[in-house]
Structure 1
Amino acid sequence: MTHDNEQFFKYTRMTVHQFEKLHNLVRARLTKSSNRRPLSLEHRLVVTIFYLAHGGSMQLTAWSFYVSKSTVSVIIRETCQVIWDVLSKIYLQPPTTEIWENKAMEFNQRWNLPNCIGAMDGKHIMIQCPKKSGSQYFNYKKTFSIILMAICDANYSFTLADVGPFGSQSDGGVFKESAFGQAMDNNELRIPCDKSLPGTDTSFPYFVAADEAFPLKRYIMRPYPGIKLTQKQQIFNYRLSRARRVVENTFGILVSRWRIFRTNIIAEVGTIERIVCATLCLHNFLKNEDSIAQPSYCPENYVGTYDRDGNVISGEWRKNYESQMHDLGRTGSNRSASSVVNLRNTLADYLVSTEGEVEWQYSHVNRGKF
């Protein structure tokens, strides 16, 4: 199969070169000593990648590789842990202040939103009801789940992620209780100090772009609520939505490439958490290793883009998208401090000013009004 690059990619979601690099990275941690002859490193890695890439049950994977289901279960649990331990230190490290500044610069260059360090969203990951768990994982969709929350950068890579809260936990408490929600509240993420909006002397904090499910905070910008909005508010919502589509595309790529997320994951909760963490790292690894000249994991037409008039052009990942990731409900209160509301108004003012406007925003929000 390694002689057929196209089939190898369909099988593993990576090129032969990328697989060899991944194998070299995890080799030391996957090496085993045993009285019995263990399965080779390559064999165990391929079993895990196949399971993540194509989904289905561990029993089906066991039949595909002529090994027992219990063996597959152990292989997947151990290999996913190794992938996380090794790759997270390289491809999912908490950013430094300098890296946050670079991510904000990329967001402004690509998505015309200054001081934005990322786009944030949360998902319910559907699982089989864990044994003796009662209603702990039973969510508002009347299914069982754990929760994944993530921040993505302008290039569709995950920057921060938090995996594991019970699906039954009220969405209103999810962000507040999440690891990076608390880290943000406590100013522990090394986010840079306030910086002037481009072309002005107006100081403004760095922030993440989020949808209406998240609370409005000094470091989170969410849309104006309601229907009867002023033109300025509509433009703010439109410009914010352009940035927020980055995280939608990132989750879309993840689910399209790693089809384990297309069905309820059948495994112990601890193993499921390892599976999710491993796929996040593999996503970042492959995005980073994609050939600039000829990307394979995420080609140019794979993600949604905008034309010159600001219209959305859907990405190819939507054709292969069938997700068991459900959106979160409201993760916080709508009631915000007046100082935070004023911050949002300040950014909205900037986006319609000479320094912050883009030529196509007015035609976009006024479309259909005449």
Structure 2
Amino acid sequence: MYHSLERQNTCFRASIQPAQRLLITLRYLATGNSFGSLHYEFKVGKSTISGIVHETCLVLWNVLKPLVFKKPAKEDWLKISDEFWERCNFPNCVGAIDGKHIRILRPFDSGSQFFNYKKYFSFVLMAVVDAKYNFIYIDVGAYGSSSDSGVFNHSTFGRMIRANSLDLPNDSSLPGTNEPALPFVFVGDEAFALGKNLLRPFSSRALSNDKRIFNYRLTRARRVVECAFGILANKWRILHTAINLSLEHAVSAVKTACALHNYVRERDGIDYEDSMMHNMEAAQWSLTRGTSSGKLIRDQFLNYFLSPAGELPWQMQAI
């Protein structure tokens, strides 16, 4: 990676060393400080810092993406599912999905495309997260005016779900039961459409206790994506401010922050062995069919949460 950050000396001055270029970029992402502030801290011109941040973000993304965003195989999905069951008490769950609005300054000549329902300019970070708050998949840069469901449906991951090309494990019985075998699912909030591999809560209108229990159990699994966004923003505090970069550079910075999030999460804890460091040198179902299938699967999960094999001792008190 350092080799990619090296620059040739000129006749007028020595080049900024790779370590300092990396330090400036990490400082910018971690604090959200302005280039003016970094100028006084590192004694480097503001325009130079702007170029350094963009170039280094591109290098970090290209180096880290193959390491921290590998496409899961069947055994990886099964491991994620086991972690959701252990940590969140939701079986056959392989990811939580949600979108986060990233505040930006209004892009030039963009009209209202990036103006969101919260009344500020943003683009969307759409993410799928595992039970350990790692990002499995991200899509960055959709218009802030777009809905989470619309962004997800047009994303690569959304198309892969509909085309059944994620290499998910075969349908499996829920823990403690023999039948029926149910598919592995992702969980999201009310913004997402119900489908065979995507569950959402029941509508909040006139809920029975049974449906309240299902919503409670789904929320326990879905909250991990909200927690992941919180961890991301509090570690890389550029996300706490309106990003004062061009749209292209802002998207690059956010993608890099997500990659660094995974890289750091994988190394949390004193027992981690840093093996990754050595590697650094079509058819789509119709809406009616998908919704009908999703309703049946959701009802089967609901019945499981009410059964002796799947109920939690405190779930009635929790609702």
Which residue number in structure 2 is paired with residue 128 of structure 1? 105
Amino acid aligned to 2:317 = S
| Residues 124, 145 of structure 1: 8 Å contact kept | yes
Q: Pairwise mapping of residues 248-259 of structure 1 onto structure 2 (< 5 A)?
A: 248-259=226-237
Shift of 1:34: 4.2
Structure 1: 5+ residue stretches without partners: 1-25, 295-332, 366-370
Which residue number in structure 1 is paired with residue 269 of structure 2? 291
Answering whether residue 202 of structure 2 is matched by residue 224 of structure 1, we say yes
Which residue number in structure 2 is paired with residue 55 of structure 1? 32
| Residues 120, 150 of structure 1: 8 Å contact kept | yes
1:26-83 deviation line (CA, Å, top 9, x unaligned)? 2232233343521111100110011011103223222321111111111111111111
Amino acid aligned to 1:50 = R
Which residue number in structure 1 is paired with residue 305 of structure 2? 351
Q: Pairwise mapping of residues 326-345 of structure 1 onto structure 2 (< 5 A)?
A: 337-345=291-299
Shift of 1:207: 0.8
- Distance in 1 separating the partners of 2:165 and 2:138: 15
Structure 1 stretch displaced more, 102-111 or 169-178? 169-178
| Residues 126, 148 of structure 2: 8 Å contact kept | no
Amino acid aligned to 2:233 = V
| Residues 31, 238 of structure 2: 8 Å contact kept | yes
1:258-304 deviation line (CA, Å, top 9, x unaligned)? 1101111011111111101111111111111112469xxxxxxxxxx
Answering whether residue 184 of structure 2 is matched by residue 206 of structure 1, we say yes
Identity of aligned residues (%): 43
Shift of 1:171: 4.6
Give the 3-state SS of the residue equivalent to 1:289 in structure 2. Answer: coil
Structure 2: 5+ residue stretches without partners: 273-286
| Residues 146, 166 of structure 1: 8 Å contact kept | yes
Which residue number in structure 1 is paired with residue 280 of structure 2? none
Amino acid aligned to 2:117 = Y
Answering whether residue 23 of structure 2 is matched by residue 46 of structure 1, we say yes
Q: Pairwise mapping of residues 1-370 of structure 1 onto structure 2 (< 5 A)?
A: 26-35=1-10, 37-200=14-177, 201-292=179-270, 337-365=291-319
Shift of 1:105: 0.9
Which residue number in structure 1 is paired with residue 277 of structure 2? none
Give the 3-state SS of the residue equivalent to 2:94 in structure 1. Answer: strand
- Distance in 2 separating the partners of 1:286 and 1:256: 13
Report the TM-score when normalising by structure 2.
0.89
- Distance in 1 separating the partners of 2:41 and 2:185: 46
Give the 3-state SS of the residue equivalent to 1:61 in structure 2. Answer: helix
Give the 3-state SS of the residue equivalent to 1:346 in structure 2. Answer: helix
Structure 1 stretch displaced more, 29-38 or 64-73? 29-38
| Residues 194, 204 of structure 1: 8 Å contact kept | yes
| Residues 215, 334 of structure 1: 8 Å contact kept | no
**Cα distance change of structure 1 residues 76 and 334 upon mapping to structure 2, 3 Å threshold:** farther
Report the TM-score when normalising by structure 1.
0.77
How large is the RMSD of aligned CA atoms in angstroms?
2.0
Shift of 1:139: 2.1
Shift of 1:106: 0.9
Shift of 1:132: 2.4
| Residues 194, 294 of structure 2: 8 Å contact kept | yes
